[in-house]
Amino acid sequence: MGDWKVDGPDGEKIESVPQMFGRFSGQVLAKTSDWQKRLHEQPEELEVIEREVRHEFTRGADLMVAALSAVVMASPELEASSEETRNHYGQPLAKGRPRSIRIQLLGGLIFWVTSLYCEPRKGVFRKKKDGARGVYIELEQFGFGKSISPGLESRVSRQAALCPSFELAQSELGRDGLNLDVKAVRRIAQQCGENLLRLRTFELQQWRNGELPATNELAGKRVTVQIDGGRTKLRGELRERTPVAEETDNDGVATSDTPGRSKKKAKRTFDGQWREPKLMTIFVHDDEGRMEKKSKATIDGTFTGPDAMAELVAMHLHRLGAAKAASLTFVSDGAVWIWDRVDAIVTQAEIPASVKINQVLDNCHAAHHVSTALAAWGLDQKERMPRYRELRTRLRNGRWRS
């Protein structure tokens, strides 16, 4: 029953795919002669024109996606699936009423969509449960997040994960023609992370109930499991900044090492707390112990402690089908919390005795122990270093017994 509009909430209503294709082709053809003229007069402008052309075709892709979505959204099949979703949703939902919402697609183009908004059904005392939220039930069928398409959420989240800051992620997205402010980039990335955590929680619950299906992804493969502890700083609660008075000498003149005043300080600040996340990586290795080319690693982590980490590893091994693997190799440093839980992981993941289990201390930490042992003998550096290099080379070449 919903409809899509372009150029504002009172703009043109999208009726069909040919309508939007005609709109896109008309806009591009109107600019073609200008691009050709500019490139003829200034060939060095190719990079700028290339970006403009790409931007126009990206907008055209958004128009086509919007048209396809509008046609499907008006179909009785989607109406039936929306009603089924509403009836089987995780929380009781009301019938729903039409509401307009602003939607942004992968290319950055904005549309206004009228969709059924189903509020959480109120309880006996006409109050909603804490944390309950309404759902645009028709947009839910496509996987839309909060006012953004799934493609846009994926693109922004990946860029935010690859960049060291949200500001840099925003800058890189802007270079590709996707203009978002820093708050939008942060909100989208955090929204994606929350959704992935909900998915992982759902899979963990399925696994605990014995309902999580196992795939054949690791069948017949040689599998490596790496577990380690990281170190990261978490932002604490905001608090009022405590003003620090400038240091002055006996004459009241500021001393030379007093911090400058050129940068305005925020009125509120926070304390960063160091935490150790528990991390894991599962991948398929070749004869040399290296990750196989064109294969993908499974990476996960948690702040909730070593037991939760062991459960995560066991769940992923089960989900990926490690019970059918050729071998399973655990590679880690010497931390006791890791090795004390390897047997429990193998048992929880239901790895049969036919799968060979290897436990390997990683080379860097093993070499460090060798260096520490040589130092404990009291050897001076001139005598110790040649011995250390020789033993380190043996480790790297797999001659650990010698």
| pLDDT tens-digit readout, 97-136 | 899 999 999 999 999 999 999 988 876 555 555 556 788 9
Residue 92 is predicted with a pLDDT of 86
- Give Cβ neighbours of residue 152 (< 8 Å, ≥ 6 apart): 104, 105, 106, 108, 178, 188
Residue 262 is predicted with a pLDDT of 54
DSSP 224-285: EEEEEE--EEEE---EEPPP-PPPB-TTSPBPTTSPPSSSPPPSEE--EEEE--EEEEEEEB
Please tell me the distance from the alpha carbon of residue 211 to that of residue 160, in angstroms, as a whole number.
34
pLDDT band at 1 (very low <50, low <70, confident <90, very high): low
* 296-313 as b/e: b if 16+ CB within 10 A: eebebbbeeebeebbbbb
Please tell me the distance from the alpha carbon of residue 195 to that of residue 146, in angstroms, as a whole number.
11
Please tell me the distance from the alpha carbon of residue 119 to that of residue 96, in angstroms, as a whole number.
7
**Which residues are bridge partners to 148 per DSSP?**
104
72-104 residue pLDDT tens? 998 999 999 999 988 888 788 888 889 999 999
Full-model pTM: 0.77
